[in-house]
Amino acid sequence: MPVLVMKFGGTSVATLDRIRRAAKRVGVEVAKGYDVIVIVSAMSGETNKLVGFVNETSPFYDAREYDAVVSSGENVTAGLMALTLQEMDVPARSWQGWQVPLLTTSAHGAARIEEIPTDNINAKFGEGMRVAVVAGFQGISPEGRITTLGRGGSDTTAVAFAAAFEAERCDIYTDVDGVYTTDPRICDKARKLEKIAFEEMLELASLGAKVLQTRSVELAMRYKVKLRVLSSFEEPSDAAGTLVCAEELIMESKVVSGVAFSRDEAKVTLVTIEDRPGIAASIFGTLAEAGVNVDMIVQNISEKNYQGHKEGVTDMTFSCPVDQLKRAEKALEAARDSGALVFDRLETETEVAKVSVVGIGMRSHAGVAAKMFQTLAQEGINIKVIATSEIKISVLVDRKYMELAVQALHDAFELEKA
């Protein structure tokens, strides 16, 4: 029988009533002739509660025990979903990560999936099981310990199962009814997309859109897994949700498909650093060792160099998540104290936001950057940093202008129109 993967997020299984609602959706797909693999998250709020217990018990916790505790929320949901399906006379069984087994690396708290053998679950399908309810977010290390995949890891679990079992599709059920041109809470003209290319979804996910975890989109793109994002709270239909698929399955793409944003950005400038080969590697190697995720990078002409006071110097500006700013400052100051880096001072800004336009149509259309910058200028919004790729343009602006920038760009590129 064909296999369908269905993933239910925490809000979709937050109560017993919602688990029953989700189970009915699974029953509909079983009646259509599918063998179904259901991936479940912990009930809404449960993982945060478990993380709190760990932090309260042991602030400097053993990561292996952290995984043992926080993975338990998914086990509860999987068991309850299997029981609910059984009450509906649907042959179902729950599976924890080690039972599959979902094989991962040993990086506790942020493990990566290595392999998903299909023999155990396929054997049970052959014996009459119609639904395998798998606890998301978890696996087993080479040492035989429980591991977790990082927050949002159930999305990655679902896509990995769809790839391993060559599923017809992977349906991600959440509390939104699809992927929108931007956040409807920011722009009331936001439109739900019928289809979006993997590359566009990957950019949107990495730029702040919360619909799908970035790693899950990467996996789907690599293995050509069709993803459908839809709401567990709306009536099911063939037209529901948004299909995330290969570019060739989309007849004609708009130049810009969406506007993404991230509020929680910080801007850092190293003033007056040496302008020599290897300096960038030294700076960003230091930040990488400290676990700082750097995004936008710009090298500027130093004020000293510009005024002719000193030759061979430059300024380096980058952005990073605001919650990693202290870590970045500490690492750079330590490098300066040790003599590994030489710079005059660090300048930081925390009241900034990143706004991005994304679209595969940019590959074949000129003028997107000019239109974006002109639109922001007309609204009196100053651009602090610019970064581009083949299908995106990102700018850093003052946070107080973020919503205005999103709305103006959405209007300028006419994203409300299909």
Binding site residue list = 7-10, 47, 74, 174-175, 180, 185, 210-211
3-state helix/strand/coil string of 157-213: HHHHHHHHCCCCEEEEEECCCCCECCCCCCCCCCCECCEEEHHHHHHHHHCCCCCCC
Q: Which of 138, 56, 126 is CA-nearest to residue 95?
A: 138
Number of other residues whose CB lies within 10 A of the CB of residue 278? 9
Q: Which of 147, 75, 159 is CA-nearest to residue 110?
A: 147
Say whether 32 sits in a helix, a strand or coil.
Answer: coil
Going by their DSSP bridges, the two strands 169-174 and 195-197 should be labelled as unpaired
List the binding residues for substrate.
Answer: 47, 74
User: Considering Cα of 316, then 319, then 321, then 326, what sign does the dihedral take?
Assistant: positive
Burial tier of 337 (Cβ tally within 10 Å: 0-12, 13-18, 19+): exposed
User: What spatial distance separates the first Cα and last Cα of the chain, rounded to whole Å?
Assistant: 36
* DSSP codes, 47-63: HHHHHHHHHHH-TT--H
List the binding residues for ATP.
Answer: 7-10, 174-175, 180, 185, 210-211
Contacts of 365 (CB under 8 A, 6+ apart): 255
In whole angstroms, give the CA distance from residue 370 to residue 351. Answer: 25
